[in-house]
Amino acid sequence: MNPDDDAALRKIRLAVAATETGAVLFSGSDTSTQFDRGCDHVCALLRDAYTLFMAGSFPTAVFLSITAIEEIAKLEIAAFRQPGRTVPAKRRNDDHLYSHKLKHAMALQEVIAIGTRLPAAIGETRVRELLDMSESGGLVALRESALYAENVDGQFLCPHDRIDRALAREMLLLALEVWDDRLVGLTNHTYALDGELVAMFDAVARP
């Protein structure tokens, strides 16, 4: 499928801006080790999301999948923030890593549309919808509905009323694809982790 060139430019600009302003996350000389520890953390989130998905706990699996996407964006941006290059944010809102919506947009870069395994698993139309949701705030709303009971149009709904297996499957596959797209290859450790996550993707992608 084809990427949206305008969306690609917007998302790249967001990521560049995020590297230029905000808090430096890694400190000292062992930044590669800290990055790898962050990747272990993301892998743990994805592993937990997979375990919950397989157990039928679909709303919590969705929440953890979206959290993993946010942490992937954080790690990638953190790898490019440096003292002397990155300006501290004057206000919290000036740091893109404090916005769920902006982290979703930065993580779901349009290069995802070029890949083949996610469209093969959930369809090109759905991949495009998810990419668009990253900018519209749709993933933020989904994140909230995965956690909280609320009244929607006069009806009391719990997370399990709104999130089913199909949606949880899509979000877990999306998170695994984002991991592969944004972090795999940045260090040797990401390759060591990736075998387990590829196996997860294959298991969830099977009909």
Half-sphere exposure of 17 (CA within 13 A, CB side): 16
pLDDT grade, residue 189 (50/70/90)? very high
CB count in 10 Å sphere of residue 91: 7
Q: Is the pLDDT of residue 207 over 90?
A: no
Q: What percent of the chain has pLDDT over 70?
A: 100
Mean pLDDT of the chain: 97
Whether pTM exceeds 0.85? yes
In angstroms, the Cα distances linking 15 to 20, 38, 81, 114 are: 9, 18, 11, 19
What CA–CA distance (Å, rounded) separates 18 from 87? 10
**Average pLDDT, integer, range 33-57:** 98
Q: Is the pLDDT of residue 113 over 90?
A: yes
